[in-house]
């Protein structure tokens, strides 16, 4: 199991293959996977089902070390 978790930069909620993500242009893509940073100067990459490989910033995503639990938000 990888020590990395892919999360949304704004909410820090985890994303997984099969989730829909939006580009900074508002285009929808289906996440196929990713590769975490290989060294300290790397951000890693994400892959989408249409066959593309992108920097995480295109989708507002970041890699976090360790597992990330989804936040439960209660509405009043």
pLDDT tens, position by position, for the chain (76 residues)?
568 999 999 999 999 999 999 999 999 999 999 999 888 888 899 999 988 899 999 999 999 987 655 554 455 4
- Listed in order, strand segments (DSSP E) in 1-76 are 4-8, 20-22, 28-35, 45-48, 53-54, 61-65
Interatomic CA distance for residues 7 and 24, integer angstroms: 16
Whole-number pLDDT of residue 76: 47
Predicted TM-score (pTM) of the model is 0.80
- The predicted pLDDT at position 21 comes to 95
Residue-level pLDDT at 67: 63
Q: Can you give the pLDDT at residue 40?
A: 83
Q: What is the dihedral of CA 57, 40, 15, 26, to 10 degrees?
A: 0
Going from N- to C-terminal start, the domains of the chain cover 4-65
Q: What is the DSSP letter of 56?
A: G
Q: Are 20 and 32 in contact (CB under 8 A)?
A: no
């Amino acid at each position: 199991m990888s020590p990395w978790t892919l999360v949304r930069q704004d909410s820090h909620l985890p994303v997984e293959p099969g989730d829909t993500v939006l580009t900074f242009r508002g285009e929808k893509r289906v996440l196929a996977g990713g590769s975490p940073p290989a060294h300290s100067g790397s951000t890693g990459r994400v892959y989408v089902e249409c066959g593309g490989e992108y920097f995480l910033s295109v989708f507002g995503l970041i890699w976090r070390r360790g597992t990330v639990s989804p936040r439960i938000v209660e509405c009043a």
